[in-house]
Amino acid sequence: MTVNSVANGLSNGVKTLHERRFQNDKAIPVAWKLDPSLLSGLKLPPETSKNNLIELDLPRKSGILSERELAISESYSIDELLSGLAKGSLTSLEVTTAFAKRAAIAHQATNCLTEIFFDKALDRARSLDARRAQGKPIGPLHGLPISLKECFQVDGIPATLGLLAYSKHVSTTNSALVELLTELGAVLYCKTNIPQTMMAADSHNYIFGRTLNPWNTSLTAGGSSGGESALVAFRGSPLGVGTDLAGSVRIPSLCCGTYAFRPSADRIPYSGQQSCASGSLRTITPCAGPIANSMSALEIFMKAAINGRPARFDPFVLDLPWREVAGTIKQKLRFGVVPEDPVFPIHPPVKKAVAEAIKLLEANGHEIVFLQPEECLVAKSALVAWALMDLDDKADRVVEAGGEAPIPARVRMREEMAKLDWSCIADVDSKPGLARLSGLTVKRNEIINAWRKLWQHHQLDAVIGPPAQNTAVEHDEYGIPPYTQLLNFLDYPACVIPFNQARSSNPPEEFETKAYQNAPKYNPGNLEGAPCSIQVFTQKMRDEECMEIAKIVDRCLH
């Protein structure tokens, strides 16, 4: 890429960014616009200044939402919303209006949305209310507003992925999951921001700009489903859907303090999305998964989607119903604990959260087995995974075709990866094409088999551990995601559960990396109050057990 092409691409990006922001501004009703005085007290610039937008309570102070709408968006669980919608004590129109208003406020504060189609959503809500009044509800999600990550295609709505090369694309079909959710009765009302190429942990691109973390605007909202988790954390959505290839529903959830579930691949429909990957090369299979503010919301989504026979819309989905396993789970469980990998050391607040979670599980009678780094192979899994994904260079070609420069988060990730010791794949590193793919696949299968033996040797029911080395960190500093990538590599279902917040000690705990180690910078003063989380996972296709065990863990922790 030439210097001139980069300059022209950035110029086009600035122009497109202004156009998109103008279009989104027009899509928000005037009555839903924030009074500038409400944001006048923010420290500027927000992306480098610590501002807690949750504590600011813009939805209440703005006067945009009625008291009933505030209650709907803040006080009702998703079970209560669906129950009210089914009985008629709540209408889809008022529920959709409440969350659309709150999404509009969230976007004005955090820049979390890419496409806004509130008008279409409100029309659909009216239609669903009419059907319910006639005694003809259309599914288990009847009338519930659901937000979507930018990559999902909705007929008549742009799907640009934040890429200049796709900036004029308007979808003419629906993604398989969109078809399914529509049939289940959901109301789709907005799409949410992502990183350029969806291969970074910072939701920033040259079309829509950067999404801010509502807990601390100087920290990343995570990626690649960062807009989704920021929106859910702000309670601008009762339930959002993201995608996950290396942790993309779990990373933004740990950054924004939400719940997330990464199912086994091919259980939730994934096909028909806008993509910048080569569809024919499925080295590590991505999946779609829910982001919400409760375990029950995650379970409701999984049950509804899987029992809706998604294979009717997606030929790759396994045509298997959701299994009810609540009565089969032992009351006292045996948990393995993922240790700190020597290559990827863990920040003090995350260590504290995991240690406290272990204490609470033990206090509730559960058994803990501390696994060893040489058993878990976190670093080796990350290296083999990234080598496999690097076989596909289409995303880089799409960025180049649009004349864009890589976003800083992608540059940072590449720089950090270059520092790692890649000797574990040295024997296949120089092999061409299929020979390289074959050699890497053999290494992956060896690690998958090692984990099979680990489960059997320790007789584990589930494993818990850190979802990341860190909480949310400063923008563009997240780097490599080894602790979430592990579960995509193994294709294990995994749940992220928010637990505690970062609290600095006096004096602050030191965190230093050695020459062979890799980690984001640790700035305890700026991370004060950042959400912490833990990760729970089970073996492949044990999604139902993972969900049930995560509910048990959640009850222990809260």
**Beta-ladder partners of 501:** 531
Q: Which of 181, 185, 190 is nearest to 313 (CA)?
A: 181
Report whether the peptide linkage leading into residue 531 is cis, meaning its omega lies within 30 degrees of zero: no
Give the integer Cα–Cα distance in Å for 223 and 96. Answer: 26
Residues in the chain: 558
332 catalytic? Reply is no
Find the catalytic residue in 224, 237, 264, 381: 224
Tokens at residue 68, please? 């009933």
State the DSSP string of 102-128: HHHHHHHHH--EEEE-HHHHHHHHHHH
Angle at 239 between CA 237 and CA 244, to 5 degrees: 115
351 catalytic? Reply is no
Give the integer Cα–Cα distance in Å for 364 and 373. Answer: 26
CA dihedral 462, 466, 472, 473 (to 10 degrees): -160
Cβ atoms of 221 and 110 within 8 Å: the answer is: yes
149 catalytic? Reply is yes
Place of tokens 């480098």: 48
CA dihedral 258, 390, 275, 539 (to 10 degrees): -50
Place of tokens 């929106």: 231
Angle at 350 between CA 348 and CA 354, to 5 degrees: 120
Give the integer Cα–Cα distance in Å for 22 and 14. Answer: 12
Give the integer Cα–Cα distance in Å for 117 and 120. Answer: 6
Q: Which of 232, 192, 219 is nearest to 50 (CA)?
A: 219
Using left for φ > 0, alpha for ψ between -120 and 50, and beta otherwise, residue 272 falls in: left
Residues 6+ apart with CB under 8 A from 432: none
Q: Is the dihedral of CA 309, 313, 315, 317 positive or negative?
A: negative
Give the integer Cα–Cα distance in Å for 536 and 336. Answer: 10
Give the integer Cα–Cα distance in Å for 140 and 116. Answer: 25
Give the integer Cα–Cα distance in Å for 77 and 293. Answer: 9
Give the integer Cα–Cα distance in Å for 266 and 310. Answer: 10
Give the integer Cα–Cα distance in Å for 280 and 215. Answer: 39
Angle at 236 between CA 232 and CA 240, to 5 degrees: 45
Find the catalytic residue in 167, 218, 248, 533: 248
Q: Is the dihedral of CA 272, 275, 281, 283 positive or negative?
A: negative
**Beta-ladder partners of 209:** 205
Q: Which pairing describes strands 287-292 and 259-262: parallel, antiparallel, or unpaired?
A: antiparallel
If one counts every other C-beta atom within 10 angstroms of the C-beta of residue 319, the result is 10
Question: Catalytic site residues?
Answer: 149, 224, 248
